[in-house]
Chains A and B, each alone.
Chain A
Amino acid sequence: MVAILPLAGVVAAALTGETAAIPARDIARYAATSAVLAALVAVATGALGSLAAWLVVMHRFPGRDIFAWALALPLAAPAFAVAYAYADLFDVAGDLRMWMRAALGFDLPFEMRTIPGAAFVLTCAFYPYVYLAMRAAFVNQSAHALEAARALGCTPAQAFLRVAMPLARPALAAGVALAVMETLADYGAVQFLSVQTLTTGVVRAWFVFGSLTSAAQFALPLLGAAALLLWIERWGRGGRGYESANARWRPLPVTTLSRPAGLMAGLFCLTLITLGLLLPAAWLVIAFLPVSPDWPRLIEAGGNSLTLAAAGAVVTVALATALALGAARVPHLARLASLGYATPGAVMAIGLLVPAAFVWRLAPGAAQGFGAGLIMLIYAYAARLMAAALEPIDAGLSRVTPSMVQAARTLGRSPSGAAWSVQLPIARGALLTAGLVVFIDILKELPATLILRPFNFDTLAVIADNYARDERLAQAGWPALLIVLIALPAVIWLTRKIAASRPGAPA
């Protein structure tokens, strides 16, 4: 229900409104941009993420144990922050290019404010999704299959291409689908780089034309794409049938790389982390830290971001837990909830405005005002992030065998008492993981917050976007950096935990 209501709202608004709101030709142009961008990001994240995961899982080289978790750190940086940094760094009139033209006599042959530029930025920001999915697939693969391939005459490289990659294809599909979902959902980065995707169309239609119908018409193809991606991602998960679940876990045959090759591998991983996090963060610090920010506004927005992210995390985890505990009885509910995850935040927000408008008309004043706005916002977060929270919680609860719950029943606990005293404590770590995932995503979220936030309620992401849109990029640096700083400890905790987990070891 939580996820479906806004989605139904989008469809209703798009189909029932006046038809001539936006010419179909315009929507097609925006959609084509989105498609090209998504394709570029898919190929780039797929190649880089897979290679990094293969290097880290199957080889020994300097820094490998750190790279194993550090490669996921760019998840702490919102895509728009990466966009600000690169746009400024490679600005045609910026210091770097001025210096290059003067000192070296040539100019770099690219421009950030183009589709390839946006693809570069989004690849830097989203490759960790592919990396994490592929790493999990490689870590869980059967050592026997690889050894059998070697025994049948494959070189390590051939074993990778002919056995490991085909076995990991479902994970690749799932990881790339996630990266593409995020690409389609991104607003802050592409907006700043002046690339007109469907999501920018949704937000602009709402703010510039004030038309729910137009926004919904931009949203409709996104919704279709979301359903397709979700199907691909599910198919990827379904492919776990390849794995031999009961095969005893043995250490994978790890190759120690020679010194030059090891240095190359380390350099490759370092480059990914640098491009995704270190360079943009450093540039934001160098370029914008000297600028004195509007402190009261920044502090208030920081407080709002923290409060909203924490409240959203608590609500989402609570709902997801209830869903997970009840899922044994109604299995397709969870399937429905995950549709929300594939849906861009802007689409979710527009969809929520439809039933909200209905309520306003029924009872003017009832659903208005500050509190109602916040509730709608948290509702949108919960609907969008439900599936992301559900996944770790499900995994955590699967450690509780049915007989443990039944044992609690025969020892005098009611069904809810058994959930409270046995299931939840055992899944405690998973609940924390789910909460942090939601927390980080809400911190970075922009379009839904822009559309649904109460009047004069700013978050860090919102004021960064406001400054950036007003061409006051220097002021946007601070809030963007603050988001990275707040998200980084949570991301480090999560990625270290993921990197430490191995089959055969207690989770």
Chain B
Amino acid sequence: MSETVALTAQGVSKAYGSRTAVAAADLTLRRGKITCLLGPSGCGKSTLLRLIAGLEVPDTGEIEADGRRLSWAGGAVAPEDRGIGLVFQDYALFPHMTALQNVAFGLRKLPGRQRRDRAQAMLEAVQLGTRGGAWPHALSGGEQQRVALARALARAPQILLLDEPFSGLDAHLKGEVRLSLTEALRAAGATVLVVTHDAREALLMADDLVLMHGGRIIQAGAPRACYLDPVSPDAARLLGEVNLIPGQVRAGLAHTPFGTVPATSCADGPAVVMVRPEGLRLAEAGAPAHVAQVRFGGGYHEVQLKADGQQAHAHVAGAVPETGQTVTVRIAPDLARVFPAEA
């Protein structure tokens, strides 16, 4: 195993009865990097996380860290012996212990005095140095999460797993929490796997992005590459709003009612053109389209367009068309991809 790889999972599967939760998943975590595992709810991402934590035993496949086999078909090193930390979606703070006692919980090997000092230092690292005596129910959601993070990091785990770290937070808190969380994780230099269904948070946090759908890992790579170059319509949809417009490929060009895009790697025949809403642009020249509806969306206007019986929506900044108007549109090639039509 190379210096830069902290953990690998190979061909890992897990089924509950007849339902397959994870199917032959391969995953690599780079040392000191933040990897985000993104997928819709029920796609098996939490199961994969629990497999890595040792809370579940895989049916097939292997999980290995630092040359040590952690899980194999039908068996696993116990969670307490893996050196992997986990921050739970509901934080799972122990209600009968103060914040400080929670953080000190995993430090049993240290003598009492050192144990308290280390726990206190961990709390200070997440800006909660003065809240050590507070009971979990007296802490805000964001504070609870930081205590849970300090608790997991106190043991200096080689790998830290976070399960949906933003799901319990108010929308206006998310950005702030993401920044402080990312900062704390980078400071700790930990290898991190974050499971989330929030595409925006995943794009903003990840060094490496892994997309999961229907129990399978469908794409892995840098966030930008995944966003701009999805391997399939499913992968494209995971990362945000997308138009999927049926079209025809002829001689290296995909033709749709909203314009044409280069399709060099596609054979002639029916195809699907994937274009992000910001890639569908009003232009001086291009394909004519009917404006069906205009909605104000904050930083942009959302414009529903119809052409030749097809529908698409565009995010328009700047001059806004009016409902009922006919406009000319074109597709920005760098924000569009062409897939062969699915059978």
Binding site for B on A (CB under 8 A): 399, 401, 403-404, 406-414, 417, 421-422, 425-426, 428, 506
Contacts and interface: CB of A to CB of B under 8 A. Distances in A.
Interface string B86-97: 101110111110
A436 to B, nearest CB: 20
B151 interface: yes
B63 to A, nearest CB: 15
Contacts of A417: 80
B106 interface: yes
Given A412-B155, A414-B80, A406 B105 contact: no
> Chain A CB within 10 Å — which of B85, B95, B148 has the most?
B95
Given A406-B55, A406-B88, A409-B55, 15 more contacts: A403-B92, A404-B93, A407-B86, A407-B151, A408-B94, A408-B105, A409-B78, A410-B53, A410-B79, A410-B84, A411-B80, A411-B85, A411-B151, A421-B105, A428-B96
B97 to A, nearest CB: 8
A214 B54 CA distance: 57
B108 interface: yes
A400 to B, nearest CB: 9
Given A406-B55, A406-B86, A411 B78 contact: no
A422 B78 contact: no
B80 A412 contact: yes
B152 interface: yes
Contacts of B106: 411-412
Given A408-B105, A421-B105, A425-B96, A403 B90 contact: yes
A207 B90 CA distance: 60
Q: Interface centre among A404, A421, A428, by most B CB within 10 Å? A: A404
Contacts of B84: 410
Contacts of B82: 410
Contacts of A404: 92-94
Contact of A407 (B78, B92, B96, B137): B92
Contacts of A399: 95
Given A409-B55, A411-B105, A401 B92 contact: yes
17 contacts: A399-B95, A401-B92, A404-B92, A406-B86, A407-B92, A407-B94, A408-B94, A409-B54, A409-B78, A409-B79, A410-B80, A410-B85, A411-B105, A411-B151, A414-B78, A417-B80, A428-B96
A412 B84 CA distance: 10
- Residues of A contacting B: mostly: helix
B107 to A, nearest CB: 9
B101 to A, nearest CB: 11
A411 B155 contact: yes
Nearest to B95: A426
A403 B46 CA distance: 13
A411 B89 CA distance: 16
Contacts of A422: 94
Contacts of B54: 409-410
Which 3 interchain pairs have the tightest Cβ spacing? A411-B106, A403-B92, A407-B92
A425 B95 CA distance: 10
A403 B80 contact: no
Nearest to A428: B96
A426 B86 contact: no
Contacts of A421: 105
A266 B39 CA distance: 61
B88 A413 contact: no
A107 B196 CA distance: 82
B190 to A, nearest CB: 14
Contacts of A425: 96
Contacts of B151: 407, 411
Contacts of B96: 425-426, 428
A65 to B, nearest CB: 26
Contacts of B53: 406, 410
A231 B60 CA distance: 43
